[in-house]
Chain A
């Protein structure tokens, strides 16, 4: 049974509401009767195997794709093709490929691109370029051509370009999948800061357990329907869910499962510190001498 997330702020209009969305591609129904409500400021992670419909889902939100039936409501306004360009300025989208979303000839031009689309005056564009380049540590790289930048630098530029448009919702579609773990951590920290400081609604698609567990809420898709919807720490310990989304159980979870097989039950968790603490508790309860954590 899919777990439902409890909405505390029922009186605030949700940032994004999807009602009975169906998406058909040829004879294949990619999304089947999906309904999701995302309150403003929430960080939602979406997981699912390739073909589960996760990319399709987020592309419906910023209008890159149109639903076959059902309605999409953004900040209380139904999404219609005529207003699509206004909506797009509020919903930032970061793609997986660093090269294929770098439009300008330099970092500076790339950040300016979106702002030119919004018809901002030159001085304001310049201001925003400076602000967001600084925020993402790109100031020295502003006049560089993308061919001279690393993947991580290009993704940072993409972030600067999208954040400069000051969206209220940020969608990251496997933004770190082509990059190394170093950048992944950098990005996670940055997102956490953004989420707290600017109360941005975040939607992140990922295959990485660490990234998925950083979010407040996890929606797992399978074959076009919602398989589960709840807290990452509750969902990511369930073997069948992990398997359905082709996620790999982290080592610490495997350890919990193996311990259970050995007759030691400390529950299940994907949090290493939590598991260690439970083991200490277990050890100190069995030994007359309290054993302190080695960390």
Chain B
């Protein structure tokens, strides 16, 4: 099951993007989102596309992987495109299909919206392909640290995040196992009304949930047994080194922001 999900996977490599500090990648993602939000025309979309392609090339990961990451969301993208096409009536009328008319303005809006969505997903893919999940978690943790003063339980959140990352594949496997066990006992969702389907899904959810609780208790014991103490100071094995290349990388995003604003 999990193997079908491309987005969210880490792909080994030694490219420039792989070697960047996860914090710079996370920070640059924010800049990227800002840039993409400003896109509102074919020209600005083109600028965004070129910039994204440069980054993709820098990851040294084949384009086919990115396409596979986008594929599951193709319906969403298509829906957004069609929505814009049929509901915007600016510009010259291009086509008339029965009651519906397609205008050039609507087409542009639709394609631009689709393009923006695609760029978002592509950049998310860049981030996940080149950064191991726990590094993303560490980066998030370090960004949130100043919030500690406001009473935000940063350590707890970081712990929750890394444990989730550790256990997601394991829990996926367990769900699969329990599903198979129940199917072997005649469990079936086929040809059932929605209400019944929901009721029957309990046959899967109850065992998975209770096992998750049991697991949490055992984990807590195991962590305590290894001298873990929430809130106590700990050293850090994994280090994040912010290098010059990281600063340059984040700063490079000012280029598309400026260009897009210019051509807006």
Contacts and interface: CB of A to CB of B under 8 A. Distances in A.
A85 B229 contact: yes
A125 interface: yes
Nearest to B12: A143
Interface stretch (A17-25, A97-105, A190-198): A97-105
B219 interface: yes
Interface in A95-149: 95, 97, 99-105, 109, 112-122, 125-126, 145-147
Given A89-B227, A113-B228, A119 B134 contact: no
Contact of B236 (A85, A122, A147): A122
A211 B131 CA distance: 44
Interface string B157-177: 000001101100110010000
Contact of A165 (B223, B226, B235): B226
A117 B226 contact: yes
B169 A145 contact: yes
B170, B226, B232 pick with most chain A CB within 10 angstroms: B226
Given A85-B232, A122-B235, A105 B133 contact: yes
A88 B228 CA distance: 9
B177 to A, nearest CB: 12
Contacts of B238: 109, 112
Number of chain B interface residues as a range: 20 to 34
A86 to B, nearest CB: 8
A125 B234 CA distance: 12
A117 B225 CA distance: 11
A62, A93, A100, A104 pick with most chain B CB within 10 angstroms: A100
B264 interface: no
Nearest to A90: B227
B225 A115 contact: no
Q: Main SS of chain B's interface residues?
A: helix
A264 interface: no
A103 B163 contact: yes
A64 interface: yes
Given A85-B229, A100-B215, A116 B234 contact: yes
Interface string B189-229: 00000000000000000000000000100110111111111
A146 B219 contact: no
B134 A100 contact: no
A104 B222 CA distance: 12
Given A101-B219, A105-B134, A121-B235, A93 B227 contact: no
Interface string B109-129: 000000000000000000000
Q: Main SS of chain A's interface residues?
A: helix
B64 interface: no
Contacts of B14: none
Nearest to B233: A119
A125 B237 contact: yes
B237 A88 contact: no
A89 B229 CA distance: 12
Contacts of B234: 116-117, 119
B184 interface: no
A117 B221 CA distance: 14
A62 B223 CA distance: 12
A211 B222 CA distance: 23
A97 B218 contact: yes
A145 B134 CA distance: 11
Contacts of A117: 226-229, 232, 234
Contacts of B133: 105
A161 interface: yes
A162 interface: yes
Contacts of A93: 222, 225
A38 B236 CA distance: 36
B243 to A, nearest CB: 18
7 closest cross-chain pairs (CB), A and B: A100-B218, A101-B222, A147-B169, A112-B237, A114-B226, A93-B225, A117-B227
Given A103-B166, A115-B235, 20 more contacts: A64-B225, A95-B218, A95-B222, A100-B222, A101-B218, A101-B219, A101-B225, A103-B163, A105-B165, A105-B166, A109-B237, A112-B237, A113-B228, A117-B226, A117-B227, A122-B236, A122-B237, A122-B239, A126-B237, A147-B170
Interface of A: 59, 62, 64, 85, 88-89, 92-93, 95, 97, 99-105, 109, 112-122, 125-126, 145-147, 161-162, 165
